[in-house]
Amino acid sequence: MRLRYRNIFLVFFVTAFILVAVSSEKSDAATGNLALGKTAYSSSNEVDFFGPEKAVDGGNRDASRWSSERTDDQWFYVDLGEPVEIGRVIINWQTPAEQYQVLVSDDAVTWRNVFADNRVLVARGSVEDTIDFEPTLAQYVKFQGVTRRPIEGIYYGYSFWEFEVYKGKPLLPPMMDAVKNSIVVSEGDTQLNLPAVPDGYTLTLVNTDSLPVIDEQGNIHAPLVDTQVQLLLQIESDSDPTYLLADNALVTVPGLYEQTSDRNPEPRVIPSLREWLGTTGEFRLTDKSNIVIRAEDEAALKGTANILRKDLLDLTKLPLTVTVGSPQEGDIYLVLDAAQTGLGTEGYELNIGEYTSVAGSDQTGVMFGTKTILQLLGHDADHKTMPKGQSRDYPKYADRGFMLDVGRKFYTIEFCGIM
Query: What is the crossing angle of helices 363-378 and 298-316, to 10°?
Result: 10
User: For residue 382, what pLDDT is reported?
Assistant: 93
The pLDDT of residue 278 is above 50: yes
The pLDDT of residue 109 is above 80: yes
User: For residue 23, what pLDDT is reported?
Assistant: 37
The pLDDT of residue 148 is above 70: yes
Q: What's this model's pTM, rounded to 2 decimal places?
A: 0.67
Q: Cis peptide before 173, with omega less than 30 degrees from 0? A: no
Percentage of the residues of the chain whose pLDDT score is greater than 90: 81
> Count of CB atoms within 10 A of residue 107's CB?
8
* Beta strands at 244-253 and 227-237: parallel, antiparallel or unpaired: antiparallel
User: For residue 414, what pLDDT is reported?
Assistant: 75
The pLDDT of residue 28 is above 60: no
| pLDDT mean over 286-312 | 97
User: For residue 9, what pLDDT is reported?
Assistant: 38
| pLDDT mean over 203-228 | 96
Reported confidence tier of residue 44, pLDDT bands at 50, 70, 90: very high
Of 234 and 14, the structure prediction assigns the larger pLDDT to 234
The pLDDT of residue 22 is above 50: no
pLDDT per residue as tens digits for the range 240-273: 888 999 999 999 999 999 999 999 999 999 889 9
16 burial class (0-12, 13-18, 19+ CB within 10 angstroms)? exposed
User: For residue 397, what pLDDT is reported?
Assistant: 80
Q: How far is Cα 31 from Cα 27, in angstroms, rounded to an integer?
A: 7
User: For residue 401, what pLDDT is reported?
Assistant: 75
SS (H, E, C) the chain: CHHHHHHHHHHHHHHHHHHHHHHHHHHHHCCCCCCCCCEEEECCCCCHHHCHHHHHCCCCCCCCCEECCCCCCCEEEEEEEEEEEEEEEEEEEEECEEEEEEEEECCCCCEEECCCCCCCECCCCCCEEEEEEEEEEEEEEEEEEEEECCECCECCCCEEEEEEEECCCCCHHHHHHHHHHHCCCCCCCCECCCCCCCCCEEEEEEEECCCCCECCCCEECCCCCCEEEEEEEEEEECCCCCCEEEEEEEEEECCCCCCCCCCCCCCCCCCCCCEEEEEEEEEECCCCCEEEECHHHHHHHHHHHHHHHHHHHHHHCCCCEEEECCCCCCCEEEEECHHHHHHCCCCEEEEECCCEEEEECCHHHHHHHHHHHHHHHHCCCCCCEEEEEEEEECCCCCCCCCCCCCCCCCCCHHHHHHC
Cα–Cα distances in angstroms (integers) from residue 340 to residues 62, 124, 278, 292, 354, in the given order: 74, 55, 20, 19, 21
| pLDDT mean over 139-145 | 98
| pLDDT mean over 397-404 | 75
pLDDT per residue as tens digits for the range 150-167: 999 999 999 999 999 999
Please give the single-letter amino acid code of residue 327. Answer: P
pLDDT per residue as tens digits for the range 331-373: 999 999 999 999 999 999 999 999 999 999 999 999 999 999 9
pLDDT per residue as tens digits for the range 66-81: 999 999 999 999 999 9
Q: How far is Cα 323 from Cα 165, in angstroms, rounded to an integer?
A: 79
The pLDDT of residue 417 is above 90: no
User: For residue 398, what pLDDT is reported?
Assistant: 76
User: For residue 37, what pLDDT is reported?
Assistant: 96
Percentage of the residues of the chain whose pLDDT score is greater than 70: 91
The pLDDT of residue 406 is above 80: no
| pLDDT mean over 72-98 | 96
Q: How far is Cα 34 from Cα 139, in angstroms, rounded to an integer?
A: 10
The pLDDT of residue 119 is above 90: yes
User: For residue 122, what pLDDT is reported?
Assistant: 97
pLDDT per residue as tens digits for the range 314-342: 999 999 999 999 999 999 999 999 999 99
| pLDDT mean over 373-398 | 94
